[in-house]
Amino acid sequence: MIYIANWKMYGNPRDIERLKPVIKLSAHKKFKKIKLIYCPPFTLLDQLNQKLKKTRILIGAQNCHANSDYGPFTGSVNSKMIKSVGAKYVIIGHSENRSIDNNIDINKKIKSAIKEKLNIVFCVGETMKEKKKNLTYRVLKKQIFQGLKNIKNNTNILIAYEPRWSIGTGKVPKNDDLLKTINIIKKLLILKNQSFKKSKILYGGSVNPQNVEEIVKIKDIKGLLVGGASLNPKKFIDIIKKSIN
């Protein structure tokens, strides 16, 4: 299982010191097979990298600019910069940025991250309005086909299914619904390109210690993208433990 902590626009240097129990867990032989990735805001990447250097925990950024070169883009950070501070991953297409980025922008960002050999966490998901109108298939198809245009899975692209109505709301899809959507994503990925056949699919959206056991009953869910609950090390550890037992 892969666990990604998405800190969003939270966190300051003091929070890094609170990660000791997670570091301890990651070193335990029982958890040898799990992959842990922390995605703090840009401001903490370097410091977190220093802290986690001797551990198995990796770090990633939450977004990147479409241009992988340096340039006059005030307020932006490119994949080269992300890589330079030790990050191995970058989240692209997160729902909270989809109001700014369309599928074409997202495609450019993925390409820029590939150029820098970063691993990508590509987020897809429908809104509640789209779900109610039975547009989930159509929306996911567009996100996957346009987002991955001219891309083969020659690098490590993880697909995170995050229903937009589930993020930060406490609502999670019912398991039969979730299973149906995960199967749709699997089919669409293969339809897009056979190289995505083995792509790992993660789930994200209001994952917490109470609902995680149910979610991971779906065998094709190979990891979790955890937002709010990942800010609390105790909750994050609980999620990991409950999803493994």
- What are the residues binding ligand PGA (CB under 6 A)? 6, 162, 167-168, 204-207, 225-229
Distance CA 25, CA 42 (A): 25
d(CA 39, CA 191): 30
Query: What residue is closest to ligand PGA based on CB?
Result: 227
Nearest-angstrom CA–CA distance, 189 and 18: 38
Query: What are the C-alpha distances in Å from 131 to residues 12, 137, 139?
Result: 36, 9, 9
3-state secondary structure of 116: coil
Single-letter amino acid, residue 65: H
For the bound state, the minimum distance from the C-beta of residue 94 to ligand PGA, rounded and expressed in Å, comes to 6
Candidate list 94, 96, 116, 126, residue with the active-site label: 94
Cβ 225 to ligand PGA shortest distance, Å: 4
Known catalytic membership, residue 94: yes
| C-beta closer to ligand PGA: residue 11 or 205 | 205
Out of 116, 130, 162, 214, which one is annotated catalytic? 162
Active-site annotation holds for 162: yes
For ligand PGA, which is the closer residue by CB, 7 or 196? 7
Closest approach, Cβ 127 to ligand PGA, in A, equals 14
Q: Does residue 71 sit in helix, strand or coil?
A: coil
Cα atoms found within 13 Å of the Cα of residue 67, Cβ hemisphere only? 8
Number of CB atoms found within 10 A of residue 215's CB = 21
Q: How far is the CB of 27 from ligand PGA (least distance, A)?
A: 25
| Residue closer to ligand PGA, measured from CB, 38 or 68 | 38
The nearer residue to ligand PGA, 101 or 162, going by C-beta atoms, is 162
* Helices then strands, each counted (H, E), the chain: 10, 8
Report d(CA 119, CA 47) in Å as an integer.
Answer: 20
Cite the active site residues. 94, 162
